[in-house]
Structure 1
């Protein structure tokens, strides 16, 4: 008796755990003997070894056995039929769409459900679901959960350097470590990955641009502006020739940040405005929103600040980030909106934005929380409420001491020092904050700074 040509539906009860078990169960169900599955090329003893799990059949042999059992190769190999596998593909695609639409919690649940049955998935589908899961966790601000997933993926022997998945995972790891505050590891990953790409002997590719853009951001955060600038000089010409709108925009964006830190604000504004125009041509809503936020921030730092234009850009960014951004994105936007309202003299609105930033950041220690507290301190000083101002200023300094040196920490210590000097009337505390800023930047306190503070004391 043969079931050849007849496809059967499988139920949960039909799904033993191993390939050999499934073949034996289906053979018994159809009343077949091992000799019925044998052929000129496949002996009865070989069929017995397959069923006992001691041999793994080749694809042609498995296809022949599947036909005789009225089953599919997918079911024999995985325990799931083609329909179930198709549903899994659809589910993963649904999760990826949810990520693009900013439904990060829904995406995380979808990928977790898929991965709960990973034994029935092939390597590429498992990797795709894991990347989606890590991306959702990152967007939800759960970096401590996203990083181990990405680390495991990056160590997979089957992950080929230079492949799309390899680049995507390397960029995500570099970004996650940077956003978690571990700038050193972020740079190590970015430099190592970029060196691996270079070793392949390729011209500058889209992968170089994506990795290099992320590495530039990490250099900037560490305060290594020379390396960031040199990398930007390498990437910008390549991005003009090869990059997508989003990739080119990312390079110009980071180049703008570096130019601003080097004191070249007009150049920074030009670079960021160009980046915004490039990204607006693409469909990455989050990148466009981040660029608007960054442009608004730079407008507030200008020698001739434009708080009205900055506020307009920041409010547009805020609206988009509420849909597609993560907690850090929104918190940065709220802090910049607080700065814009502060520049316009709208104290209550400024306080509300800074407090919302703190709420978004939660209880986990973040340098960004320090920025929000220092911003609140300045606003309350301007509102002539020194007691509240000092409370936030002391809390900001206390929290910032727990973070390792970085460009962002340096800027915050400088800001805290300026607040003590301008509003707090405490030169001793100002000097301590400036000391911490210089230490974070990797230099000793200079006699010039001491002399400046001594003059202020008089």
Structure 2
């Protein structure tokens, strides 16, 4: 049924409940034939006529338009606000529960915009909780509906991110290019630059480094022309990622610092916390001799993460990176604790970050002579990587795993890991 049909049906239902005929409802301002056409969905009443009919029927205008009373509408909007607040505060499970309860509310059925807001919020909460397949399913279903241009781009951004986190890189690229390469694409704006940033990340992980460098320059030009904080942060951060992936460490840090400067002035605490940790990581990789300073900075940044609304995956990533810095400075007990905690927050299989945590644990245990535990963790790398599609990240992890297996005396396992690394690299 169309919106006009539903409005007409509600008018007809309330009129009959009030014991009125069409003529009685119409008199004296309207004709009974006009009321009949409205009730049958053949005429769309103007706002003034709707307000008049609501007064004559002694019901709320909100009910005639949306199928709910003003009080019910207020309750729905309040519940949606609480769900959003829970998600912003990092209470992911709470947010997911609230969004799910809202979708079960029958009063939401006819409220298309609010129902779409709720479904999109549920997708974000599901994504933040690490259930990427669940988030993808919600976003794909929502994408098939009639949406505003802004919501369609937001869905594409989060679909691209979820596919990328799942190592489904071809699908990540297709989702973003479907909008960015469209002939009728609008002029650059903040959302499109963010979508471009997600696409750029997928290019890099897929190994399209030349395309990534070219597209990074295009995004920087677009952001500089817009001059908005949101676009400048997104474009400079992705330029930093691209420079890091192509071996330009100092350039990577320069772009990251520019993005951080804008983020500190305009960003939310969650975004600042994520970027601060990533900037420390950039500096650590550019100047590994300063590992102790990086470790101390990461410890402080981890506290900031715990105090803000970062997602489960964000916190897991911080813990694994902190473990790497601690291992490099000889703080092996702390490195093991943080790597294990980070890994426990991730799926048991199909996680590149989980594989990196296991590999780190395998190397630490191997270094202190606990060979059996080392072998167990290195073997677990297979469980995390095997379900994932081929990517540069997986290739690098397989290669590092092969080297570790050689050190542990597992020649057959090392050969298999080298072969998987070559396959991931397309060789």
Please give the TM-score of this superposition, normalised by the length of structure 2. Answer: 0.89
**How far, CA to CA, are the matches of 1:316 and 1:250 in structure 2?**
24
Q: Does 2:245 match 1:264?
A: no
Q: 1:199 aligns with which of 184, 204, 210?
A: 184
Q: Check 1:201–1:291 CA distance in 2 against 1; reply closer, same or farther (3 A cut).
A: closer
Q: 1:185 aligns with which of 167, 171, 182?
A: 171
Aligned counterpart, 2:159: 173
Q: Does 2:197 match 1:208?
A: no
**How far, CA to CA, are the matches of 1:191 and 1:207 in structure 2?**
14
Matched residue of 1:324: which SS? Answer: coil
Q: Does 2:133 match 1:133?
A: no
Aligned counterpart, 2:291: 307
Aligned counterpart, 1:327: 312
Q: Could you tell me how far 1:415 is from its partner in structure 2?
A: 1.4
Q: Could you tell me how far 1:409 is from its partner in structure 2?
A: 0.5
Q: 2:78 aligns with which of 68, 90, 101?
A: 90
For 1:271-318, what per-residue CA distance to the aligned partner results, in whole angstroms no more than 9, with x for missing partners? 222222222222333322222222233333335432223223322332
5 Å-filtered alignment, 1:33-44, equals 33-39=21-27, 42-44=30-32
Mind listing any 5+ residue stretches in structure 2 that lack a counterpart? none
Bigger Rg, which one: 1
Q: Could you tell me how far 1:436 is from its partner in structure 2?
A: 1.8
Q: 1:374 aligns with which of 351, 355, 359?
A: 359
For 1:294-345, what per-residue CA distance to the aligned partner results, in whole angstroms no more than 9, with x for missing partners? 2233333335432223223322332343341222211211111111110111
5 Å-filtered alignment, 1:11-160, equals 22-24=10-12, 26-27=14-15, 30-39=18-27, 42-44=30-32, 47=35, 55=42, 57-59=44-46, 60-115=48-103, 116-117=105-106, 119=108, 121-156=110-145, 158-160=146-148
Q: Check 1:246–1:76 CA distance in 2 against 1; reply closer, same or farther (3 A cut).
A: closer
Q: Could you tell me how far 1:39 is from its partner in structure 2?
A: 4.0
For 1:403-436, what per-residue CA distance to the aligned partner results, in whole angstroms no more than 9, with x for missing partners? 2101220121121123234x32455543432332
Contact 1:292–1:316 (8 Å) recurs in 2: no
Q: Could you tell me how far 1:40 is from its partner in structure 2?
A: 6.6
Aligned counterpart, 1:11: none
5 Å-filtered alignment, 1:323-362, equals 323-362=308-347
Q: Could you tell me how far 1:378 is from its partner in structure 2?
A: 0.7
Q: Could you tell me how far 1:83 is from its partner in structure 2?
A: 3.0
**How far, CA to CA, are the matches of 2:382 and 2:66 in structure 1?**
57
Mind listing any 5+ residue stretches in structure 1 that lack a counterpart? 1-16, 444-458
Contact 1:289–1:316 (8 Å) recurs in 2: no
Contact 1:380–1:389 (8 Å) recurs in 2: yes
Contact 2:163–2:171 (8 Å) recurs in 1: yes
Q: Check 1:48–1:273 CA distance in 2 against 1; reply closer, same or farther (3 A cut).
A: closer
Q: Check 1:249–1:24 CA distance in 2 against 1; reply closer, same or farther (3 A cut).
A: closer
Q: Which moved more, 1:27-36 or 1:186-195?
A: 27-36
**How far, CA to CA, are the matches of 1:135 and 1:398 in structure 2?**
27
**How far, CA to CA, are the matches of 1:122 and 1:82 in structure 2?**
13
Q: Check 1:425–1:275 CA distance in 2 against 1; reply closer, same or farther (3 A cut).
A: farther
Q: Could you tell me how far 1:353 is from its partner in structure 2?
A: 0.8
Q: Could you tell me how far 1:64 is from its partner in structure 2?
A: 2.8
Contact 1:292–1:313 (8 Å) recurs in 2: no
Q: Could you tell me how far 1:352 is from its partner in structure 2?
A: 0.4
**How far, CA to CA, are the matches of 1:47 and 1:420 in structure 2?**
80
Equivalenced residue count is 420
**How far, CA to CA, are the matches of 2:16 and 2:184 in structure 1?**
55
Q: Which moved more, 1:335-344 or 1:121-130?
A: 121-130
**How far, CA to CA, are the matches of 1:249 and 1:195 in structure 2?**
22
Q: Does 2:302 match 1:318?
A: yes
Q: Does 2:397 match 1:412?
A: yes
Aligned counterpart, 2:278: 294
Matched residue of 2:181: which SS? Answer: helix
**How far, CA to CA, are the matches of 1:120 and 1:387 in structure 2?**
57
